[in-house]
Amino acid sequence: MSDGNSEKNNQHWAQIEEVGVYWGMRFLFLLYSVFGRTIFLIVLYPVVSYYFVVSTSARESSRDYIRKLNAFNPENKTKANLSSSYFHFMSFAESMADKLGAWCGKITHDDVVFHGKEEYLQQVEHGNRGALLIGSHLGNIEVCRALAGVEKGLKLNVLVHTKHAENFNRLINSVSVGNQLELMQVTELDAAMAIRLDEKISNGEFVVIVGDRIPVKGQGRTAEVNFLGENAHFPQGAFILASLLKCPVYTLFCLKQQKKYHIYFEHFSDRIKLPRKSRESALIEVVSLYAQRLESYCLTYPLQWFNFYPFWTKPTTDGAISDPK
């Protein structure tokens, strides 16, 4: 039997993030643009620290993730204690500052190290169609705006779950000059959205989607694969979308190291095919390949993965996190 607190702790990540998110971002934009990064962090650190104290679920999810890292790779030097978990939260605060810096144009090409740039440019210049980029909540995918600056006219369309996508677009456009990034709200993939995205791919644009958070609406659209030594549920949506769009697929990661942002643009598949007779096994295979790639980066940048919910707990059909009891 669960009490009110456990129900609150087991809320789906999207339900948690929607609380005041738009007006909160307006305030953060104002704070960052007026006072700069240092003052922004001075204000943000106590807020994140408070969240660390009061959010049992997020704190324990961080420690559980670090424990799994240590069990999977004994050479990992990050200990699964409160101190490491707190630094994990502070790393998230830093990523918030980086996110705003990217949106406000404060991050320049001199701040970015682009791995896979030649392959990226080849896809832009010679590809008959655009491509699907599968990112994650490891690092700071917002810095992918730097991709748009490499080639003038390139358009990035980032699929997000927030209900405030249109408001965010207006907000970003108000602080960013020459913005080539559009946020597109998608809570579920329907025929109209698939057609809209296919048009963008046909126009040579890139579509960006993350592959490491369960859907807002559960509907069983997850694949259970091994991640850091234990089975976890990853969303199928990115890979189903790739099969529908019939376009090249790349993974996209942006990790911070010594004040530089390292963008990793890597080929994943020329085209993902999901045969009707072996659809489930084919999905598990491609999701597993993605999980392995994400895993390798988590081992290198352990405190830059920002999924503060019970990731290894099976989601229920309504998209919430089930009680393991």
Mean pLDDT of the chain: 82
> Does 23 map to a domain?
yes
CA torsion, ordered 202, 206, 210, 211, to nearest 10 deg: 50
Lowest mean pLDDT of 19-23, 185-189, 213-217, 278-282, name the range: 19-23
Residue 88 vs residue 179, higher pLDDT: 88
Helix axes 237-245, 279-300, angle to 10 degrees: 120
83 is in which domain, residue-wise?
4-304
Lowest mean pLDDT of 2-16, 154-168, 259-273, name the range: 2-16
Residue-wise pLDDT for 84-135, tens only, equals: 999 999 999 999 888 888 877 788 788 889 999 888 888 877 767 899 999 9
Q: Which H/E stretch holds residue 93?
A: helix 82-103
The pLDDT of residue 17: 47
Residue-wise pLDDT for 186-206, tens only, equals: 766 777 888 999 999 999 889
> Does 89 map to a domain?
yes
Q: Is the pLDDT of residue 239 over 80?
A: yes
> Does 313 map to a domain?
no
What is the mean pLDDT of the segment spanning 256-274?
Answer: 93
Q: Where does 134-236 have alpha helices with state H? A: 145-150, 165-175, 191-202
Q: 62: pLDDT confidence band, cut at 50, 70 and 90? A: very high
CA torsion, ordered 22, 96, 234, 52, to nearest 10 deg: -90
Q: Is the pLDDT of residue 293 over 90?
A: yes
Amino acid at 162: T
> Does 281 map to a domain?
yes
> Does 299 map to a domain?
yes
- Torsion angles phi and psi, residue 299, rounded to 5: -65, -30
The pLDDT of residue 145: 66
Point out which residues pair with 321 in neighbouring strands: 315
Check: CB of residue 29 under 8 Å from CB of residue 171: yes
> Does 183 map to a domain?
yes
Domains held by the chain: number: 1
Point out which residues pair with 158 in neighbouring strands: 183, 208
Check: CB of residue 223 under 8 Å from CB of residue 287: yes
State the pTM of this model: 0.85
Residue 251 vs residue 174, higher pLDDT: 251
Q: 227: pLDDT confidence band, cut at 50, 70 and 90? A: very high
Structure tokens at 237: 């949506």
Lowest mean pLDDT of 34-38, 168-172, 235-239, name the range: 168-172
* DSSP letter (8 states) at residue 302: G
> Does 314 map to a domain?
no
The pLDDT of residue 214: 79
> Does 317 map to a domain?
no
